[in-house]
Structure 1
Amino acid sequence: MAELMATMVVGPLLSMVKEKASSYLLQQYKVMEGMEEQHEILKRKLPAILDVIADAEEQAAKHREGVKAWLEVLRKVAYQANDVFDEFEYEALRRRAKAKGQYKKLGSMDVIKLIPTHNRIVFRYRMGNKLRMVLNAIEVLITEMNAFRFEFRPEPPMSSMKWRKTDSKISQLYEDIAAESRKEDKQAIVNRLLAQASNGDLTVLPIVGMGGLGKTTLAQLIYNDPEIQKHFQLLLWVCVSDNFDVDSLAKSIVEAAGKGKNELKEVVSGHRYLLVLDDVWNREASKWEALKSYLRHGASGSSVLTTTRDQEVAQLMATTEKPYDLKSLNDKFIKEIIQRSAFSSEQEKRRPELLEMVGDIAKRCSGSPLAATALGSTLRTKTTKKEWEAVLSSSTICGEENGILPILKLSFNCLPPYMRQCFAFCAIFPKDYEIDVEMLIQLWMANGFIPEHQGECPEITGKRIFKDLESRSFFQDVKGIPFEFHDINDSRVTCKIHDLMHDVAQSSMGKECVAISRKFSKSEDFPNSARHLFLSSCLPEDALNASLEKVCPGIQTLICSRQYEKDISVNGDLQRSVRALKIEGGLLLKPKYLRHLRE
Structure 2
Amino acid sequence: MAESFIFSIAESLAAKLASRAYQEASRLVGVYDDLQELKSSLSYVKAVLLDAEQKQEHNHELREWLKQIKLIFYDAENFLDEVDCETLSKQVVRDYGTPKDKVGRFFSSSNPLVFRYKLGHQIKEIKKRLDRVAADRNKFGLQVIDVDRRGVHRREMTYSHVVESKVVGREHDKEMIMKLLMEPSLDDNGGSKHISVIPIVGIGGLGKTTLARLVYSNKRVTESFPLKMWVSVPDDFNVRSLIIKIINSPSDFASSTDAPAGQQNLRDLEIEQLQHRLRNMLEDQKFLLVLDDVWNEDRVKWVELQDLISVGAQGSKVIVTTRSQSIASMMGTVACSHNLESLSPEDSLRLFVRWAFKEGEEEKYPELIRIGREIVEKCKGVPLAVRTLGSSLFSKHETQEWEALRDKEIWDLPQKEDDILPALKLSYDEMPSHLRQCFALLSLYPKNHAFISLDVASLWGAAGLLSLQSQDKSMVDIAHQYLRDLMARSFLHDVFDCGSFYFFLIHDLVHDLAVYVAKDVCQLVSSNTQDISENVLHLSFVENGLRCNSIKPSLQGARSILFPVNEVGASEAFLNAWVSNCKYLRYLDLSDSTCETLPQSISKLKHLRSISLCNNTRIKRLPSSICKLQNLQVLRLDGCSNLETLPKKLRKLISLQRLEITTKQSILPESDIAKLNRLEYLCVQDCDNLESLFVETRLPTLRTLQVSGCANLKSLPLDTHHFPQLETLVIPGIANEDWLDRSEDTNAVLRLKSIYFYGMVTLPHSLQQYASTLQTLVIACFYELEVLPEWLWNLSSLKSLYISECPKLKSLPSDIHRLTSLQVLGIIKCRELYRKYEPQVGECWPMISHIKHTYIRDTWE
If the length of structure 2 is used for normalisation, what is the TM-score? 0.40
Q: Does 1:548 align with 2:578?
A: yes
Counterpart residue number, 1:496? 505
Deviation at 1:91, TM superposition (A): 0.5
Q: Does 1:597 align with 2:622?
A: no
What is the SS of the residue equivalent to 1:519? coil
Q: After TM superposition, list the pairs within 5 Å mapping 1:376-455 onto structure 2.
A: 399-400=388-389, 401-402=414-415, 403-453=419-469
Deviates more, 1:434-443 or 1:457-466: 457-466
- 1:94-113: CA deviation from partner (whole Å, max 9, x where unpaired): 223333x1459xxxxxxx99
Q: In the alignment, is the contact (CA less than 8 A) between 1:549 and 1:574 conserved in 2?
A: no
Counterpart residue number, 1:560? 590
What is the SS of the residue equivalent to 1:433? coil
- Aligned mates of 1:47, 1:456 — CA distance in 2: 31
- Structure 1 pair 511/520, CA: closer, same or farther in 2 (3 Å)? farther
- Structure 1 pair 147/462, CA: closer, same or farther in 2 (3 Å)? same
- Aligned mates of 1:8, 1:378 — CA distance in 2: 26
What is the SS of the residue equivalent to 1:42? helix
- Structure 1 pair 474/80, CA: closer, same or farther in 2 (3 Å)? same
Q: Does 1:534 align with 2:526?
A: no
Q: Does 1:331 align with 2:210?
A: yes
Q: Does 1:37 align with 2:42?
A: no
Counterpart residue number, 2:635? 588
Match of 1:131 among 120, 123, 129: 123
Deviation at 1:340, TM superposition (A): 13
- Structure 1 pair 32/135, CA: closer, same or farther in 2 (3 Å)? farther
What is the SS of the residue equivalent to 2:606? helix
- 1:70-117: CA deviation from partner (whole Å, max 9, x where unpaired): 221121111111110111111012223333x1459xxxxxxx99xx86
What is the SS of the residue equivalent to 2:72? helix
- Aligned mates of 1:584, 1:179 — CA distance in 2: 48
Count of paired positions: 393
- Aligned mates of 2:433, 2:520 — CA distance in 1: 20
Deviation at 1:147, TM superposition (A): 3.2
Deviation at 1:352, TM superposition (A): 4.9
Q: Does 1:506 align with 2:515?
A: yes
Deviation at 1:24, TM superposition (A): 3.5
- 1:192-234: CA deviation from partner (whole Å, max 9, x where unpaired): xxxxxxxxxxxxxxxxxxx9876xxxxxxxxxxxxxxxxxxxx
Q: In the alignment, is the contact (CA less than 8 A) between 1:26 and 1:32 conserved in 2?
A: no
Counterpart residue number, 1:291? none
1:38 is matched by which residue type in structure 2? D
2:596 is matched by which residue type in structure 1? K
Q: In the alignment, is the contact (CA less than 8 A) between 1:341 and 1:380 conserved in 2?
A: no
Q: In the alignment, is the contact (CA less than 8 A) between 2:2 and 2:521 conserved in 1?
A: no
What is the SS of the residue equivalent to 2:611? strand
Q: After TM superposition, list the pairs within 5 Å mapping 1:98-497 onto structure 2.
A: 98-99=93-94, 101-102=95-96, 118-155=110-147, 180-181=172-173, 331-333=210-212, 351-352=242-243, 374=323, 399-400=388-389, 401-402=414-415, 403-453=419-469, 457-459=473-475, 460-481=477-498, 483=499, 491-497=500-506
Counterpart residue number, 1:79? 74
- Structure 1 pair 36/569, CA: closer, same or farther in 2 (3 Å)? same
- Aligned mates of 1:510, 1:546 — CA distance in 2: 26
Q: In the alignment, is the contact (CA less than 8 A) between 1:478 and 1:495 conserved in 2?
A: yes
The answer for unaligned runs of 5 or more in structure 1 is 105-111, 158-176, 184-210, 215-327, 363-371, 384-395, 484-490
- Over the aligned positions, Cα root-mean-square deviation in angstroms equals 4.7
1:472 is matched by which residue type in structure 2? R
- Aligned mates of 1:426, 1:415 — CA distance in 2: 15
What is the SS of the residue equivalent to 2:514? helix
1:409 is matched by which residue type in structure 2? K
- 1:277-330: CA deviation from partner (whole Å, max 9, x where unpaired): xxxxxxxxxxxxxxxxxxxxxxxxxxxxxxxxxxxxxxxxxxxxxxxxxxx788
- Structure 1 pair 14/573, CA: closer, same or farther in 2 (3 Å)? farther
Q: In the alignment, is the contact (CA less than 8 A) between 2:326 and 2:488 conserved in 1?
A: no
What is the SS of the residue equivalent to 2:635? strand
Deviation at 1:583, TM superposition (A): 3.2
- Structure 1 pair 532/82, CA: closer, same or farther in 2 (3 Å)? same
- Structure 1 pair 579/587, CA: closer, same or farther in 2 (3 Å)? closer
**Highest CA radius of gyration, 1 or 2?**
2
Deviation at 1:405, TM superposition (A): 0.7
Counterpart residue number, 1:524? 549
- Structure 1 pair 509/573, CA: closer, same or farther in 2 (3 Å)? farther
1:127 is matched by which residue type in structure 2? L
Q: In the alignment, is the contact (CA less than 8 A) between 2:443 and 2:518 conserved in 1?
A: yes
- Aligned mates of 2:429, 2:473 — CA distance in 1: 26
- Aligned mates of 1:54, 1:95 — CA distance in 2: 39
1:544 is matched by which residue type in structure 2? F
- Aligned mates of 1:93, 1:342 — CA distance in 2: 52
Higher RCO, 1 or 2 (CA under 8 Å, sep at least 6)?
1
What is the SS of the residue equivalent to 1:479? strand
- 1:144-195: CA deviation from partner (whole Å, max 9, x where unpaired): 22333422222379xxxxxxxxxxxxxxxxxxx9782499xxxxxxxxxxxx
- Aligned mates of 2:134, 2:328 — CA distance in 1: 36
1:39 is matched by which residue type in structure 2? L
Q: In the alignment, is the contact (CA less than 8 A) between 1:533 and 1:557 conserved in 2?
A: yes
1:531 is matched by which residue type in structure 2? R
- Aligned mates of 2:433, 2:245 — CA distance in 1: 26
What is the SS of the residue equivalent to 1:6? coil
- Aligned mates of 2:171, 2:597 — CA distance in 1: 51
Q: In the alignment, is the contact (CA less than 8 A) between 1:450 and 1:458 conserved in 2?
A: no
1:543 is matched by which residue type in structure 2? A
- Aligned mates of 1:455, 1:593 — CA distance in 2: 16
Counterpart residue number, 1:92? 87
